[in-house]
Structure 1
Amino acid sequence: MNIFDRKINFDALLKFSHITPSTQQHLKKVYASFALCMFVAAAGAYVHVVTHFIQAGLLSALGSLGLMIWLMATPHSHETEQKRLGLLTGFAFLTGVGLGPALELCIAVNPSILPTAFMGTAMIFTCFSLSALYARRRSYLFLGGILMSAMSLMFLSSLGNLFFGSIWLFQANLYMGLVVMCGFVLFDTQLIIEKAENGDKDYIWHCVDLFLDFVTLFRKLMMILALNEKDKKKEKK
């Protein structure tokens, strides 16, 4: 038997029989909005890199926070859908602008870090998202408490490192943060499914959760690659 003659049934691979059709339609809207956010955020990052606006990091952080609060306060309904999509687009754009300083830092170290970090983040996000989609319902929801505890520990260690200034602790936080965000992709994806199954079809806000997971993953992976590249350059000297 020639194993290379076997055909892959892609329809079976993409079949999520344990997810109801209405929730599958909801997920399509979530990921379509997510794709829009990625495109707009990339445009925002490009604008910052081209204009080199020094205060963009602080201003964009405040602006994106304000838009996120506004979006959260705007009720989900058919009448407010266009308004909330506009707020989501503005939030994604300012988030991309906020990535500008980190992008410029990585470009100064090695421009190849950016595509490597993006492709790596896309692969990690896709793999963990598919794992959550194919897994049994609620199987990863237990991670919520563990992930929040890990986030609290990282926050406290970051505060402590302001006094110690340890590069080792800083790097440990980066790697730990990368692992924690992988867990959040699993947790948030299954939480979105569970909310949708229970009637919560706010795809715009659910998109925000996944978008923030992706951006945080990208930022941490980018910084890890930049630090490794700096270490390599020091060794060569």
Structure 2
Amino acid sequence: MSRTNVFSRLENGNQYRFDDKSSASNRFNLETIFDFSNLQPRVQTHLKNVYTCVLVSVICATLGVYLSMTDWFNYPRLAIFASIITTIRVDPQIVMTAFLLTTTMFACLTLSALVTRKRTYLYLGGILGTGTSIMLLLSLMNIFGRSQLIFNINLHFGLVIVCGYILYDTQLIVERTSNGDMNYVKHAILLFIDMVDLFVRILIILFENSQSKNKKSNNR
């Protein structure tokens, strides 16, 4: 067989591979995002129970906040909690924006962790542990320093760490479920804590930005 024929066959083979890849990319649609065929059926069922519990927890938390703000629900028996309840007046638009951003980010991160066939996010455990230690150190430093810069660094760095924990915990739940851990309540609490932490940090960031804009407008 001549060299020319070999090279021509190789070129044709590479061309076919390129055409296959390009056609596969052209066939991309939204169904690919929600393709969970890589997960076992029992894992899919378990995840449905987990996210149902997360949804119920979010609804109950929202309802609890709403009822605590109404006068008719403040029974005398709740007076013992008066010393630990603080009322923070925040613009409702900021709260709604924070809630929508939290829901969107949580959904995107969760889908990213579920769709990928490789459990690469499980290797984030060590990095997230180190990041959490750094956040704790910054918080301890800020107790004595009272620095706004350290507070902002800790706040935004913590937001990145929380996003990493959502990816890590989601794949950790899938891995544990594959190994027989079917406690969906425990797994739902784990994700709910991540979601609340994400919401609080986004809310504080939006509130800080709103406060800085108000100060600039007042100084003019």
Q: Deviations over 1:96-145 (max 9, x none)?
A: xxxx74xx5352xx221100000000010000000000112321001011
The count of corresponding residues between Structure 1 and Structure 2 is: 188
Confirm whether residue 124 of structure 1 aligns to residue 140 of structure 2.
Answer: no
1:221 corresponds to which of 197, 202, 205: 202
> How far apart are the structure 1 equivalents of 2:193 and 2:67?
20
Please give the TM-score of this superposition, normalised by the length of structure 1: 0.73
Confirm whether residue 166 of structure 1 aligns to residue 166 of structure 2.
Answer: no
Q: Deviations over 1:55-104 (max 9, x none)?
A: 75976xxxxxxxxxxxxxxxxxxxxxxxxxxxxxxxxxxxxxxxx74xx5
Once the two structures are TM-superposed, the CA of residue 185 in structure 1 deviates from its matched residue by 0.6
The residue aligned with 2:88 is 105
Counterpart of 2:54 in 1: which secondary structure? Answer: helix
| Distance change >3 Å, CA 184–CA 26, structure 1 → 2 | same
> How far apart are the structure 2 equivalents of 1:230 and 1:141?
38
Confirm whether residue 17 of structure 1 aligns to residue 37 of structure 2.
Answer: yes
Confirm whether residue 47 of structure 1 aligns to residue 67 of structure 2.
Answer: yes
Q: Deviations over 1:136-155 (max 9, x none)?
A: 23210010111111111101
Please give the TM-score of this superposition, normalised by the length of structure 2: 0.78
Once the two structures are TM-superposed, the CA of residue 13 in structure 1 deviates from its matched residue by 3.9
Residues 180-191 of structure 1: pairs in structure 2 closer than 5 A: 180-191=161-172
Once the two structures are TM-superposed, the CA of residue 235 in structure 1 deviates from its matched residue by 0.4
Q: What residue ranges of structure 2 are gaps of 5+ in the alignment?
A: 1-25
> How far apart are the structure 1 equivalents of 2:83 and 2:30?
45
Greater Cα radius of gyration, structure 1 or 2: 2
> How far apart are the structure 2 equivalents of 1:192 and 1:212?
14
Once the two structures are TM-superposed, the CA of residue 190 in structure 1 deviates from its matched residue by 0.2
What is the Cα-based RMSD across aligned positions, in Å? 2.3
The residue aligned with 1:82 is none
| Distance change >3 Å, CA 58–CA 176, structure 1 → 2 | farther
Once the two structures are TM-superposed, the CA of residue 44 in structure 1 deviates from its matched residue by 1.4
> How far apart are the structure 2 equivalents of 1:217 and 1:47?
23
Once the two structures are TM-superposed, the CA of residue 180 in structure 1 deviates from its matched residue by 0.6
| Distance change >3 Å, CA 54–CA 187, structure 1 → 2 | farther
User: Is contact 2:33-2:115 (8 Å) kept?
Assistant: no
| Distance change >3 Å, CA 163–CA 138, structure 1 → 2 | same
1:205 corresponds to which of 183, 186, 193: 186
Confirm whether residue 195 of structure 1 aligns to residue 195 of structure 2.
Answer: no
The residue aligned with 2:136 is 155
> How far apart are the structure 1 equivalents of 2:181 and 2:147?
44
User: Is contact 1:106-1:114 (8 Å) kept?
Assistant: no
Identical counterparts, % of pairs:
39
Confirm whether residue 234 of structure 1 aligns to residue 215 of structure 2.
Answer: yes
User: Is contact 2:53-2:188 (8 Å) kept?
Assistant: yes
Once the two structures are TM-superposed, the CA of residue 189 in structure 1 deviates from its matched residue by 0.3
> How far apart are the structure 1 equivalents of 2:153 and 2:64?
30
